[in-house]
């Protein structure tokens, strides 16, 4: 059941991010992760054409390989190959320093795996546009990344794309 999968993932990330905060507000990192998951739930309500259980777990875990000592094998053992592979696809390759090449690599990996990776990436960008407003330099990177993903994702989710476009339009005003 989705509730059990959510509980398992939120408990796991809660332990991994125990002392981590969102840099610009006084909130635990779980606030950000659960907001990404909320976007996934709402997208599913609008268009249930993806695996909600995989997408929600991925939403909660999407930064785990970047931000913690967790590795792919640990993730695979605990959550299964599909969740681990989807999380890995979203994770940026740290060996690529140039931003444009990094984006191209990231989109290539997302487009070559399960569609839930695209769903979570869009939900992540929507959430980042809210949580990153206090850091203008980072915000500009998120805006660039958002536009790139809207143009280049193979799997389309019109609801999330429109949400992301609305967020971008509000920032342009």
Across residues 110-123, what is the average pLDDT?
Answer: 95
Superfamily of domain 2-172: Hypothetical protein af1432 (1.10.3210.10)
Confidence of residue 141 (pLDDT cuts 50, 70, 90): confident
Q: What is the dihedral of CA 131, 64, 150, 127, to 10 degrees?
A: -20
Confidence of residue 135 (pLDDT cuts 50, 70, 90): low
Domain extents in the chain: 2-172
What percent helix, strand, coil does the chain show, rounded to 5? 75, 0, 25
Tell me if the pTM is above 0.75: yes
């Amino acid at each position: 059941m989705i509730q059990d999968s959510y509980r398992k993932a939120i408990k796991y990330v809660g332990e991994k991010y125990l002392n981590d905060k969102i840099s610009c507000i006084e909130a635990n990192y779980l606030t950000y992760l659960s907001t990404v998951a909320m976007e996934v739930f709402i997208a599913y309500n609008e268009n249930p054409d993806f695996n909600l259980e995989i997408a929600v777990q991925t939403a909660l875990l999407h930064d785990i390989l970047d931000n913690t000592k967790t590795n792919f094998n640990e993730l695979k053992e605990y959550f299964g190959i599909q969740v681990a592979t989807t999380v890995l696809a979203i994770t940026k390759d740290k060996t690529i320093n140039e931003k444009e090449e990094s984006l191209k690599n990231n989109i290539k990996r997302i487009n070559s795996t399960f569609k839930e990776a695209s769903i979570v990436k869009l939900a992540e960008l929507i959430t980042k546009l809210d949580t990153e407003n206090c850091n203008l330099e980072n915000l500009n990177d998120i805006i660039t990344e958002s536009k790139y993903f809207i143009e280049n994702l193979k799997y389309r989710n019109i609801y999330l794309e429109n949400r992301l476009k609305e967020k971008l339009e509000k920032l342009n005003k």
